[in-house]
A and B are shown apart, each in its own frame.
Chain A
Amino acid sequence: MNKKRVTRLAEYFFTVWVIVTLNFLLPRAMPGDPFLYLSSDVGEEVIFSEEQRQYYLAYYGLDRPVGGQYLSYMSELLRGNLGHSLYYNEPVSHIILRRLAWTFFLVIAAVILSTFIGTVLGSISAWYREKWLDKFLFFNLIIMSEIPAFLLGLVLLFSFAAGLGLFPLSGAMTHFAGYENWWEKVLDILHHAFLPVIALTIARTGGMYLLSRNSVITVLEKDYLRTARAKGLSEKRVIFRHVLRNAMLPIVTRVFLSLGSLVGGAILVENVFAYPGLGHLMREAVMVRDYPLIQGIFLVVTICVLLANFIADFIYGKLDPRVNDYSETYGG
């Protein structure tokens, strides 16, 4: 562990602390009496009952001094206690754990698919630069890259699920289905996840395509590629060991950096397909003003994204030998 890694780690801890503290401050910074708040939704005005109001006041310990509140909040958090949901009458962490896997599933599937497809198409495009195939891919993917995932999801939902009936309209599994064997269950899950994953993937592939195309083109013009060719290496080795190995670097960075926006997309897409992940849960929580649950989800999602980025930093350091050496000269 060198100095650079340590400072990086410290930065992540600091970020986590900022988010955790923000999470603590939010309900306390609410304008007016927070728990008299009215729902936004037109038509349905939810007014907190006195009972609920008292519950929240006690729950957040708003009657105690702020310092003490903060300490107990932090210690509870360290013990893994994210609070208690009033609506579900269950610890927040339990609810989140139940739903987390579905979101993970969507996000990871979309990341893998979009990165793979985007990189392959981007490399092909770069290789056949300015040929018709490149132009064709470029034009189509550039349009795809600009449509937000949930708008795409709506199209998919109404055409393939509602219109053609090829896919289920909502959920992650068929309710009360008695599966004969395990792969029938897997198939059912895949059947349900197909459209949401496709929506997320399509929305992301364009960006990955553009990035990898650009990246490969840049690498193709580098001096070291000429060196590699001069050495009489096989085409395979030149492409994989020299071109892709270098072109990969910005792609890896982007995969993780854009995770935040992908999570945002996933939240919306889950709501389009009523997919029982964290995004859908979050909306439910917002609708019923289940503050501890909202906060819990927020905390889990942000920390997951941060964690993923920390891993990315680590991987990147392994992939690019230059990173750790330049820290001294360029100050990171």
Chain B
Amino acid sequence: MAGVLKLLLKPIKTIKKFSLLGKTSFIVILLILLVAIFAPCISIHPYNVSSGPPLSPPGGEHPLGTDELGIDLWAQICYGARVSLLVGFLTALLAALGGGLIGIVSGYLGGWTDKILMRIIDIMIVLPDLPVMIVMAAFFGPSLLNIILVLALFSWVFPARIVRSQVLMLKEQGYIKSAETYGAGAWYLIHRHFLPEVFPLVAVNMVRLTGRAVVAEAGLSFLGLGDPTSKSWGLIMHHAINFAGIYFTPFWKWWLLYPWLALTLMVISLAFISRELEKMADPRMGR
């Protein structure tokens, strides 16, 4: 019980050490998270069916106005938060798990396995990810799952590299070497020594990966390659900017502005949180 409590207290303590900017960012993310969870409760109107006159400005019935089909924007943004967070978090989780595992294997085994994996990582880092994602989305269909898979495919290299270098460093430590002389196997070393050391780094990296994935999903949706059944923020913007004459009407002042604001706030907040965490993990990074 005490252990669980400690585990819960630790993030709170970490956040307490954040700068003002970091704390604000954390609150923003927390708000977005709450909005996503309670989306059905806080939006009166449905997010996919028309509920009022098209293109009505914010105010009254529709606090953020409606789009060209008369769908409530506030509801779309609430449900869009779900998509963004889901894509971001699942991608980060998948990439962290896969990348972490590959990093441990690569670092621990060394030799040919390591060489080959490092080459693959080198290639993946150089490859322009968006064109590949576009091609994949074009060929395999733009379902949310596909998007998550493609994003994860391009994200695992970051945790993999971090974990690998950490494992390489750990392998040289006396306590690992002595554990090996006592006959510790790979599995023992991994779950007893490597994972606990590597976990915080990967956890910190996950925040950054989440941010990346959110941006990538928004970009794909903005191009019209997102999952058409899920109203993500990028998709709202896609519709807005493709609305003929959007430049010459005041519609963009809500139709485009609010999803834009939501997305920017979320991306920047995630970035700041990850920056704060990275600074704590390695004080030299943030100087």
Contacts of A26 in B (CB 8 A): 135-136, 139
Number of A residues with CB within 8 Å of any CB on chain B: 57
Given A40-B141, A217-B287, A282-B131, the answer on whether A147 and B126 have CB atoms closer than 8 Å is no
Contact A150 B252 (CB under 8 A): no
Q: Assess whether B94 is interfacial by the CB under 8 Å rule.
A: no
Which residues of B in the span 205-223 have a Cβ within 8 Å of any Cβ on A? 211, 215, 218-219, 222-223
Q: Assess whether B90 is interfacial by the CB under 8 Å rule.
A: no
Bound complex: CA A272 to CA B237 (Å) = 10
Q: Assess whether A264 is interfacial by the CB under 8 Å rule.
A: yes
Distance in angstroms from B6 CB to nearest chain A CB is 32
Distance in angstroms from A75 CB to nearest chain B CB is 22
Contact B130 A268 (CB under 8 A): yes
Q: Assess whether A58 is interfacial by the CB under 8 Å rule.
A: no
Contact A261 B222 (CB under 8 A): no
Specify which of A146, A267, A272 is in contact with B131 (CB 8 Å cutoff): A267
Which residues of A in the span 158-178 have a Cβ within 8 Å of any Cβ on B? 158, 161-162, 169
Specify which of B131, B136, B237 is in contact with A301 (CB 8 Å cutoff): B131
Contact with A along B247-264 (1 / 0, CB 8 A): 110001000100010011
Contact B130 A267 (CB under 8 A): yes
Contact A27 B139 (CB under 8 A): yes
Contact with A along B123-143 (1 / 0, CB 8 A): 101111111101111111110
Nearest B residue (CB) for A38: B141
Contact B260 A264 (CB under 8 A): no
Q: Assess whether B119 is interfacial by the CB under 8 Å rule.
A: yes
Contact A151 B123 (CB under 8 A): no
Contacts of B139 in A (CB 8 A): 26-27, 29-30, 34, 291
Q: Assess whether A60 is interfacial by the CB under 8 Å rule.
A: no
Q: What are 18 of the A-B contact pairs (CB < 8 Å)?
A: A11-B122, A26-B136, A31-B141, A40-B226, A41-B228, A143-B268, A145-B271, A151-B260, A154-B256, A155-B260, A162-B247, A260-B125, A260-B128, A260-B129, A261-B130, A263-B128, A305-B127, A331-B115
15 additional contacts, CB 8 Å, given A29-B139, A162-B247? Answer: A11-B119, A26-B136, A30-B139, A40-B142, A40-B227, A158-B247, A158-B256, A267-B223, A268-B130, A271-B223, A283-B223, A286-B223, A298-B131, A298-B134, A301-B131
- Contact surface of B with A, Cβ cutoff 8 Å: 115, 119, 122-123, 125-132, 134-142, 211, 215, 218-219, 222-228, 237, 241, 247-248, 252, 256, 260, 263-264, 267-268, 271-272, 275, 287
- Contact surface of A with B, Cβ cutoff 8 Å: 11, 15, 18-19, 26-27, 29-31, 34, 37, 40-42, 142-143, 145-148, 150-151, 154-155, 158, 161-162, 169, 214, 217, 257, 259-261, 263-265, 267-268, 271-272, 282-283, 286-287, 289, 291, 294-295, 297-298, 301-302, 305-306, 309, 331
